[in-house]
Amino acid sequence: MTARRVTLADVAWRAGVSKTAASFVLNGRDHMRIAAGTRQRVLEATAELGYRPNRIARSLRSDTTHTIGFISDTIATSQFAGDMIRGALDEASDHSYVLFIVEAREDTAIGQAMIEGMLDRRVDGVIYAAMSTRRVALPTALRDCPVVLLNCLAEDPSPPTIVPDEFNAGRDAARLLIEAGHDDGIYVVGGCHRTGRTPEGVYAGWERMRGIQQVMREAGLRLAGVRECAWHSPRHGYREVRALIAAGHRPQALICCNDRLAMGAYQAVGEAGQTVGGDVSVVSFDNSGLAGWLRPTLTSIALPHYELGRSAVRALLGGGGTAGFTSIPMPAVIRDSVRGPVRRSAWSNTVLLR
């Protein structure tokens, strides 16, 4: 620093009061003891000089740092991380808190050191976030600190937990197709994601499948098939849909478990000389950037990342009264990939029409 920092003494001098009086005003301990005129002069001097109290020193007295730790398993690999963090930032900012964001890769010494480094700086509470919904083992370093789980699940006893409502998202995907007139040849691409490193499948996959199957049963229908595959690249969606068509099947509608799989499905449908939205309806999940970029644009049930982030901060600052499990609705974003008219009336307020 080159410029001298404005101190409490400067403020007191400008206001014509003692340092103790100025300190009382600025620490909110001035009720009854300080005259209104004095208080006013201190606040004016603070504003004029651009004085900022030294929060580090103050936190030793007031036992709060107005800082929330945001621990994420991986900031980099998800395109959605930003929205979740932005939601958390906005809610924190509404309450004059700031976020201290740390990427702690699970089960690593570095991750552990990062978490401890954050606790050393005395955060008031911690949001522990995963970028795709999954079960986590809460680091032991966080055992004694107020914690909210964001987009992840822990074993009992669990802290307050904020997750997307994947089950109703699955229901909505199936309802969209049925209401568009589909009653046959409906396939799911992706399924529970029971592949590779996650043989048991992913939370989003299970919940979405459960919702889809329930709606199909309620309508007296059956899925024509479920193509289990990995979710991370359009390549997987492409392969599955190409194989389906090559085997002589004639899919009428595809429920793709994310927009990347839908992109691959588009590629395979196009190569087979068919059109999405005409010959084959496609509905998807996530509502990532891709959904608006594909031709025709893709109907997709949105992951509410921004609202997830906001809700987590709200739950943390709300204190202990918000224990349990909160599901955040996933709105359907309806575009041009499903054939036939969509009856807006059927969709109440959970659907955005773009």
Give the residues lining the site for its own copies (CB under 8 A).
Answer: 1-3, 52-57, 59-60, 65-67, 75-79, 81-83, 85-86, 89, 93, 96, 98-103, 110, 113-114, 116-122, 143-145, 233-235, 238, 260, 263-264, 267, 270, 289, 292-293, 295, 306
Output the six-digit token pair for 63.
């036992």
Q: How far is the CB of 160 from its own copies (least distance, A)?
A: 16
Nearer to its own copies, 107 or 120 (CB): 120
Nearer to its own copies, 114 or 334 (CB): 114
Estimate the crossing angle of helix 8-15 against helix 36-49, to 10 degrees. 130
Give the C-alpha separation, 237 to 249, whole Å.
16
Output the six-digit token pair for 72.
């994420």
Angle at 82 between CA 283 and CA 205, to 5 degrees: 35
Q: How far is the CB of 120 from its own copies (least distance, A)?
A: 4
Amino acid residing at 81: A
Nearer to its own copies, 179 or 336 (CB): 336
Question: Taking a C-beta distance cutoff of 8 angstroms, is the pair 231, 261 a contact?
Answer: yes
Q: How far is the CB of 66 from its own copies (least distance, A)?
A: 8
First to last CA, the chain: 51
Handedness of CA 102, 103, 105, 108 (dihedral sign): negative
Give every CB contact of residue 188 below 8 A, 6+ residues apart in sequence.
Answer: 209, 212, 223, 225, 226, 227, 254, 255, 256, 257
Nearer to its own copies, 110 or 353 (CB): 110
Give every CB contact of residue 256 below 8 A, 6+ residues apart in sequence.
Answer: 188, 189, 190, 237, 262, 265, 282, 283, 284, 285
Nearer to its own copies, 281 or 297 (CB): 297
Q: How far is the CB of 124 from its own copies (least distance, A)?
A: 11
Nearer to its own copies, 145 or 154 (CB): 145
Q: How far is the CB of 342 from its own copies (least distance, A)?
A: 22
Q: Is 184 exposed, middle or buried (0-12, 13-18, 19+ CB in 10 A)?
A: exposed
Give the C-alpha separation, 329 to 168, whole Å.
8
Nearer to its own copies, 212 or 290 (CB): 290
Q: How far is the CB of 102 from its own copies (least distance, A)?
A: 6
Q: How far is the CB of 150 from its own copies (least distance, A)?
A: 16
